[in-house]
Amino acid sequence: MIGFISPTLRHLEAGLLASKVIDFIGVRSAAELKEKVAGAEAALIGNSAYDSGAAQTLRSATSLRWIQTTSIGIDNLMSDPPRRDVVVTNAGGLNAPAVAEHAVTLLLALSRNLRRSLECQRVGWWARQELAPAVRSLAGRQIVCLGYGAVGREVARKLAAFDAEVTVLTRSGQGAPPARRILPYESLGAVLPTADAVILALPLAPWTRGIIGRHELALMKPTAVLVNVGRGPLVDEVALAEALTEGHLAGAGLDVFAAEPLSKDSPLWKCPGTILTPHLGGQGGDGERLLVQLIHENAARLKHGQPLANVMTIR
């Protein structure tokens, strides 16, 4: 297996280099990938590292049979897909508990007005009377979650512990517990005006891009908040910044952005009521160990001609 390892993923190498199932070769650049990919049957690459150059290099690798991504999202692979005879698998579900925990953390921080409390702490201001009116409990609050994959299910399960009323939107309008109320996406316009919070846990696809735009934000209550742990382009960031600045939305907790890292001149940095984190949702959990385990299992399946786990359809 050839692995295109970015600086943030190099810690995976130890587990892969010690493998008795695969011969792992780590590369550090697109040029090195091009040089060493010949003869590789499998490639490990992050969605962000899969650009047009990497796509062309991997398509030219005649021995390549399998690409394993290090993330759930595979939008770059979808826009510039590999050869049809190459199987693509993702890391879906491995980081779901951590990402869901991050989503709930952002929601709690917004609900308890923690950003403003920290601002007051820095200047030594005991602002109880000023802060108290904006503090909310999640109990009985109407939470709308877009997406009911591994992350969405974990979000619904965790929010049940806070006695929140969770509505989940799916393409089919169907799904299993823990969510009790599941509706199709056609109901989005009807449920947004009732939501105290909207959580985005969707992958990026043509039908999800911009799913929260100017029209959808206008439907939300001015006391509502938005949390995005899915993909940045799910949200029209210009419209969101305007809604926050003009007081049409109470706050936003964002872990993902249309372009990362977020530009220093993005208005989101200074919007009132925002809490921004630099794509940390999947960190701190057991996902990395499980990813190495998945790679080993899929390598063994490939060797024995068995179906791989987490296969994605990208065409």
pLDDT for residue 207: 93
Domain that holds residue 227: 96-276
Residues 156 and 63 occupy one common structural domain: no
Residues 145 and 124 occupy one common structural domain: yes
Is residue 7 over pLDDT 60?
no
Residues 77 and 112 occupy one common structural domain: no
Residues 7 and 85 occupy one common structural domain: yes
pLDDT for residue 269: 98
126-178 residue pLDDT tens = 999 999 999 999 999 999 999 999 999 999 999 999 999 999 999 999 998 89
Is residue 233 over pLDDT 60?
yes
Is residue 5 over pLDDT 60?
no
Cα–Cα distance measured from residue 145 to residue 175, given in angstroms and rounded to the nearest whole number: 13
Contact 262, 241 (CB under 8 A): no
Is residue 266 over pLDDT 90?
yes
Residues 73 and 130 occupy one common structural domain: no
Contact 200, 216 (CB under 8 A): no
Is residue 13 over pLDDT 80?
no
Q: What is the pTM of this model?
A: 0.88
Residues 69 and 204 occupy one common structural domain: no
165-196 residue pLDDT tens = 999 999 999 998 899 899 999 999 999 999 99
Residues 68 and 204 occupy one common structural domain: no
Q: What is the mean pLDDT of residues 73-78?
A: 89
Residues 261 and 186 occupy one common structural domain: yes
**CATH at residue 77:** 3.40.50.720
Q: What is the mean pLDDT of residues 50-59?
A: 93
Residues 153 and 235 occupy one common structural domain: yes
Residues 151 and 228 occupy one common structural domain: yes
Residues 72 and 114 occupy one common structural domain: no
pLDDT for residue 26: 85
Q: How many domains does the chain have?
A: 2
Q: What is the mean pLDDT of residues 204-227?
A: 96
21-53 residue pLDDT tens = 788 888 888 888 888 998 899 999 988 889 999
Is residue 287 over pLDDT 70?
yes
Active site residues: 231, 260, 279
The reply to whether 311 falls in a domain is: no
The reply to whether 21 falls in a domain is: yes
**Three-class SS of the chain:** CEEECCHHHHHHHHHHHCCCCCCCEEECCHHHHHHHCCCCCEEEECCCCCCHHHHHHHHCCCCCCEEEECCCCCHHHHHCCCCCCCEEECCCCCCHHHHHHHHHHHHHHHHCCHHHHHHHHHCCCCCHHHHHHHCCCCCCCEEEEECCCHHHHHHHHHHHCCCCEEEEEECCCCCCCCCCEEEEHHHHHHHHHHCCEEEECCCCCCCCCCCECHHHHHHCCCCCEEEECCCHHHECHHHHHHHHHCCCCCEEEECCCCCCCCCCCCHHHHCCCEEECCCCCCCCCCHHHHHHHHHHHHHHHHHCCCCCCCECCCC
Select the more confidently predicted residue: 102 or 34. Answer: 102
Task: State the pLDDT confidence band at 16, using cuts at 50, 70 and 90.
Answer: confident
Q: What is the amino acid identity at position 63?
A: S
Residues 120 and 248 occupy one common structural domain: yes
Percent of the chain whose pLDDT exceeds 90: 76
